[in-house]
Structure 1
Amino acid sequence: MAGTDRLAIAAHLHVLLRRKAGRVTDTEWMVANADYALEIVRFARQRAVQDNAPELAEWAGRLEQAVHETPPEPRRPLLDTAAQAVRQRMASPPPEVPRYIGGIR
């Protein structure tokens, strides 16, 4: 599962937990740290039972499945990403500049 899909699931669960339990979570950390994500899953399931909120249990299950499917994609340092973008830009030919004849465009 792609990191963006895991982030979407984490964000949806974050909104549900905020509305139902008043709990604020860190969605990016849920994607990056499996232990934190599984603790949020445990908490969401507990609150689903307490508050009779089946949607919490459903989204907790989705997050748990996403955590166990594939590891999160490794993060690249910003400097590496920027350097790669500069190299790509330098390798591509410069864009053509339109030439005007007289004052006509």
Structure 2
Amino acid sequence: MKTSLIATTLLMALSLPALAAEQTVTLSVPGMNCAACPITVKAALNQVEGVHSVQVRYEERDATVIFDDTKTTVEALTQATTNAGYPSSLKQSQTGKE
């Protein structure tokens, strides 16, 4: 009985990382008004723990971010851009492993 309980607990603990997923979101960043703005936005997002990649498009005024949802949240991403002087909001989200 004790061995079965230990085995079940171990199996559950090892399965938890499988619940985590990479998430891709696109943030609307309307305050970018010059060609240098994307540099600041990208730097701010890359400083957030769990961010894997950032692509900022000045012409579309948006940023696409791939991140580990066990380490950060969309709210943390939008807070990072806001703290850098470029408030953002969720434009699009896609969950799944990339």
**TM-score normalised by structure 2 residue count:** 0.32
**TM-score normalised by structure 1 residue count:** 0.30
Structure of larger gyration radius: 1
